Amino acid sequence: MKISLEHLTKIYPNRTKGKPDVIAVNDFTFEIPDGKLVGLLGPSGCGKSTTLNLISGLEAPTSGRLFFGDDDVTNLPPERRGVGLVFQNYALYPHLTVLQNITFPLENLKGEEKLSKAEMKEKAYEAARLVQIENLMERKPSQMSGGQQQRVAIARALVKKPRVLLLDEPLSNLDARLRLQTREEIRKIQKETRITTVFVTHDQEEAMSICDEIVVMKDGIVQQISAPQTVYDDPVNLFVATFLGTPEINVFTGRVADEQLFIGDEAVLPRKGVADQPVYAAIRPEGFIPDGDGPFSMDLVRVEVLGRDTSVVSGHPDARNLSVRSIISSDTKVDPGQARIRFSLKPWKVYIFNRDTEERIYPQ
Amino acid sequence: MIKKNGKAWLYLLPAVLFLGAFMIYPLVDVFIYSFEEGYNSASQTSFGTGLYNYAYVLHETYFLQAVKNTFILVIITVPLSTGFALLVSVALSSIKPLRNLFQTIYFLPYVTNTLAVGTVFLILFKPMEDMPGLVNMMIQAFGGDIIDFIDGPYWAKMFVLSFYTVWVVLPFKILILTSALASVNENYYKAARVDGASKSRIFFRITLPMISPMIFYLVITGFIGAFKAYSDVVALFGTELNAAGMNTIVGYIYDMLYGKSGGYPSFASAAAIILFAIVLTITVINLMISRKNVQYA
């Protein structure tokens, strides 16, 4: 089921006098293609959870329209939209067993849709098999680990065969190892069921690893909608560039003069066709090559050996980050004793942004 | 063990001393008195030991009347006040405007003096020579006859007492239940709404089980509180409760000790032990029922 947002806006009126209203979601217009897993990514307060609540119907938009396929669902209550919702804290009913939790949505069906007890049980087991918890059906939520509880929550969301599956930070309450495992599983279940899924997260790595498409948001405004690799390789502005990637991209204040990018006094890279102006230059950690004759010099702080890679931590007065991090292959040896280190740059890992608008100006 | 935890015992000492002197010792003493026949507290002598005190108390009409009154009061007021408190709390939780005002109004009886409230009830229910009282004025307006709720028929007196008791215990229960309702995580309701549960289903399948420990707490303390009713009865019907036929078990105990016909600590002790046995039995039954029906998350 394709989801279309058309100028969707949510404004929370501020009750305190004199303070402005909060625009949680500002004029969202985009499409979530059928059968895809789409991640809403952004820092807290960017409006991603509000967007999810608007799609689920738990909140009504201030203006704009929402379509599932060709159906206008803007004014439909949540139960008639056919959505399954998974919460960050699972929201499993603590007094019900796993089986009762999963059958709960089925028991609410009325009229022709009403199911017999046996049918409910069968459907519940079907959903439970999908997330591999069919041997835990008689347990109470408190007798299970976080990962198992999350599976139950997913089974409960899927049991009614919803048109859309919504996941609100589903991995945030899990420990690191479980998080990896569960996210693979969510991906697998999504591929098996081919259900259109919206996944809210503030963790860029999570979004990058499992989503077909990422919607990057900030302050209620969509920044960029693209495939994960595109968002990483082709960020439209400085925010997107800094939000994606670990370690974070290195940002320098610099200027373009005579078709050269200057950071400090050094002309670090030729940039043809860019007008002279003050800029932000952002360089991915993997964009540095240690090179004794390189154009870009920095103070060497320390060298961290990470096994497969080596992380070179250095400092530069024009860097916006506290320290400049570069990731280089561990085959390249760096003498940790030297005070200065010189780099040459991979041109395709260097982005130039306008100093005022922070929009990207190079590559064009 | 005492050596190892010496410091802990030292800290506990003041509490242990006070509890021992003013709680444990009297309790044991009451138990002993209840078996000592004709105990005289002035001379500290008795005729002997046995079950005579119990036999006497259990055969006395005043005591049986008090037991009957107490049981009726308990059976009427505990379910009624708990159910009504639940209703009010749910209503309070689902409104936004004026919630604080209503909360304050509902809480007023809790901070009002029992005897003052008793006076108000007298004005409401007692027909005087020159005016029939507010309630009777309403009854008259609907074409009924004046009923003396304070010195009249038994059922009328019981009605006022029950009404009064429910009204007095309501605020505390509302307070407990509104906070219990507020502590239910919002996400459960969101999940239930997405799952298509109707309002009544959400209430019975989710809200009620989630606050069931608090309801259970209120039922148990409600039972115990109602069994110990006394001051409310005095506030409404005065101190001559046996004459009014409105005595309670605690009232009977008091009368046996300090009343006009009092001075019988042995009978009072026996009655107190009987009350204790009743409360214990009821509480054990409550616990047994709750084990099946109360959901502890």
From the first residue on, what is the mean pLDDT of each consecutive set of 10 residues in chain A (364 residues)? 91 81 89 93 90 93 92 91 90 92 90 85 91 90 90 92 91 85 89 92 90 93 93 93 91 92 90 88 93 91 88 92 90 86 93 93 83
Looking at the predicted structure, is the pLDDT value of residue B115 above 90? no
Q: Give me the residues of A, 338-357, that contact B with CB < 8 A.
A: none
Whether A305 contacts chain B with CB within 8 A: no
The residue with greater pLDDT, B103 or A201, is A201
Mean pLDDT for chain B overall: 87
Contacts of A94 in chain B (CB under 8 A): 210, 295, 297
B186 → chain A, closest CA residue: A91
In chain B, the percentage of residues whose pLDDT exceeds 90 is 42
With beta carbons less than 8 A apart as the criterion, state whether A152 and A92 touch. yes
- Which among A336, A298, A294 is positioned nearest to A317, based on CA atoms? A298
* Segments making up each domain of chain B, as ranges: 60-114+150-293
Candidates A50, A76, A81, A104: best to mutate against B (most CBs of B within 10 A) is A104
> B270 to each of B6, B47, B277, how far by Cα in Å?
39, 16, 11
Q: Band of the pLDDT at B104, cuts 50, 70, 90? A: confident
The stretch B69-86 carries a mean pLDDT of 94
Q: Band of the pLDDT at B1, cuts 50, 70, 90? A: low
Residue B3's pLDDT is: 65
Polymer length in residues for chain B: 297
Contacts of B297 in chain A (CB under 8 A): 94-95, 142
Instruction: State the architecture of B60-114+150-293 in CATH terms.
Output: Orthogonal Bundle (1.10)
Looking at the predicted structure, is the pLDDT value of residue B2 above 70? no
The stretch B103-128 carries a mean pLDDT of 83
Cβ pair A108:B195 closer than 8 A: yes
With beta carbons less than 8 A apart as the criterion, state whether B244 and B17 touch. no
Geometric angle at alpha carbon B191, from B185 and B197, rounded to 5°: 115
Query: C-alpha dihedral over A245, A246, A252, A255, to 10 degrees?
Result: -20
The stretch B220-240 carries a mean pLDDT of 88
A157 → chain B, closest CA residue: B195
Task: Give the minimum alpha-carbon distance from B75 to chain A in angstroms, rounded to a whole number.
Answer: 29
Residue B76's pLDDT is: 94
The stretch B172-177 carries a mean pLDDT of 93
Residue B113's pLDDT is: 83
Residue A73's pLDDT is: 93
Residue B134's pLDDT is: 80
Q: Helix (H, G, I), strand (E, B), or coil: what is residue A81? A: coil
Beta strands in B68-170 (DSSP E): none
Q: Whole-prediction pTM value?
A: 0.78
Candidates A73, A83, A87: best to mutate against B (most CBs of B within 10 A) is A87
Looking at the predicted structure, is the pLDDT value of residue B296 above 70? no
Whether B208 contacts chain A with CB within 8 A: no
